A and B are shown apart, each in its own frame.
Chain A
């Protein structure tokens, strides 16, 4: 332990420190489940507009729907909305449960891409 005076230090409350609101305030403190995380490269696609207009949505939920009219990866959703990945996963879980988005997970890790795909990647990289 350092011999510092007790009590909060507020030296870090400047512009570079980022938002003062804690990140998981957006999710009302909910964190992603240990097992049900969406992969960083899973794709999110917004579905048709909700029939039930009473689904309670936060601005962040609406922002995700707006951003995913075209398929977008989880990593890019988080980056575009400037939210932590864990926060985005909770919000995606909400939207998925409400039927407002579809999620497309990448194939399981045991399922390495076949040679055809690997060859396409090499050819594609060469052609860049």
Chain B
């Protein structure tokens, strides 16, 4: 697009570079909690309005009378320095909004998949999605109070993850724990970059 300004102009106007990290996982896995714990701003919401036509027809049973629906996405921000910001986007939890994920995942640095060991299967779709897209991700096992603790290895086996995917035990409410999760992701991205691309 001609009207989009160049990098030099960007530097002159002091426009930060924004990196996108997705926070995924099943409903109630702690996505918004994690965004809130690490964001420097109160988590904000953006909304996308969908028409029935854009929703998979198999899944609109029960909403026939509704021609539009609104999907809310929570997001937060971390300012690294004057030139660098990280945006965290909580992905919409409902399966029928997968196509919104494509937009979110476009250009994303990577993703955190939050797993709740009481409902581990809820994060299967997220894991599948990022594996298929080739988006780097880490799995954060959210250790809810009262939930039975599983080892990271047990979760890795249950999710059938590639050996290089980091699995981190975390507490989504805790800022320090959330930071460690994000650091694990960025280090994983850096490591993947360093590896030669496999032939074929």
Residue ranges of A at the interface with B (Cβ–Cβ < 8 Å): 1-2, 4, 8-9, 18, 22-24, 36-37, 39-41, 43, 45, 71, 73, 75-76, 78-79, 83-87, 96-97, 102-109, 112-113, 115, 117-122, 124-126, 128
Contacts and interface: CB of A to CB of B under 8 A. Distances in A.
B47 interface: yes
Given A102-B5, A104-B4, A124-B80, A113 B87 contact: no
Question: Looking at chain A's contact residues, is the secondary structure mostly helix, strand, loop, or mixed?
Answer: mixed
Nearest to A31: B51
A122 B107 contact: no
23 contacts: A18-B70, A23-B68, A36-B1, A39-B106, A43-B18, A71-B16, A75-B75, A76-B44, A85-B46, A85-B48, A97-B3, A102-B9, A103-B3, A103-B5, A104-B15, A106-B18, A106-B107, A120-B81, A120-B84, A121-B19, A122-B186, A124-B81, A126-B179
Contact of B104 (A40, A107, A126): A40
Given A109-B106, A121-B80, A79 B15 contact: no
Nearest to B89: A40
Given A2-B62, A104-B4, 9 more contacts: A75-B89, A78-B46, A79-B44, A85-B46, A102-B3, A103-B5, A104-B15, A115-B190, A120-B84
B21 to A, nearest CB: 9
B81 A39 contact: no
B17 A125 contact: no
A73 B87 contact: yes
Contact of A106 (B17, B44, B80): B17
B189 interface: yes
Contacts of A124: 78, 80-81, 84
Interface of B: 1, 3-5, 9-10, 13-20, 38, 44-49, 62, 64-65, 68, 70, 75, 77-78, 80-81, 84, 86-87, 89, 103-104, 106-109, 175, 179, 182-183, 186-187, 189-190, 193-194
Given A109-B107, A120-B80, A86 B49 contact: yes
A120 B75 CA distance: 21
B65 A9 contact: yes
A76 B64 CA distance: 32
A40 B104 CA distance: 8
B183 A126 contact: yes
Given A87-B49, A112-B193, A118-B189, A45 B107 contact: no
Q: Which of A36, A37, A118, A128 has the most CB of B within 10 A?
A: A128
Contacts of B14: 71
A75 B72 CA distance: 12
